[in-house]
Amino acid sequence: MGKDFSMESIEWREFAKVELRAGTIVKVEAFPEARKPAFKIWADFGELRIKKSSAQVTELYQRDGLLGCQIIGVLNFPSKQIGTFMSEFLVTGFVLEQGEVVLAQRERRVPNGCKLV
């Protein structure tokens, strides 16, 4: 038998509250203080400004390769203290079986700050 993929249903109005926005990574730094390997990243979300986050993507991505990548972030979670760093948005991605994270990205470049619907 396969895995049980049952999940809780949500209403459209609940999904519409999630601010999934496109942003371009403009700065990446090592984050050696993090408990799990991670980068500190800064992403430009257009009129919503540059925001920072911690991203556990070190297994599949190099710092230089992330610069200029357009990602999808959740911008309306509360800020979260991660070690010495205050994360302002959630980087979205897909977790593979071994724990590696593949960044969620869009098919074409869109304006920074554009909302995913």
Q: Where does residue 99 fall: left (phi above 0), alpha (psi -120 to 50 degrees), or beta otherwise?
A: left
Q: Where are the domains of the chain?
A: 13-103
Q: What is the pLDDT of residue 4?
A: 66
Asked: is 13-103 a CATH 2.40.50.140 domain? The reply is yes
Q: Are strands 70-74 and 20-30 parallel, antiparallel or unpaired?
A: antiparallel
pLDDT digits (tens, 9 = 90+) for 61-92: 999 999 999 999 999 999 999 988 999 999 99
- pTM: predicted TM-score of the whole model, two decimal places: 0.91
Give the whole-angstrom CA distance, residue 41 versus residue 52: 6
pLDDT digits (tens, 9 = 90+) for 9-48: 999 999 999 999 999 999 999 999 999 999 999 999 999 9
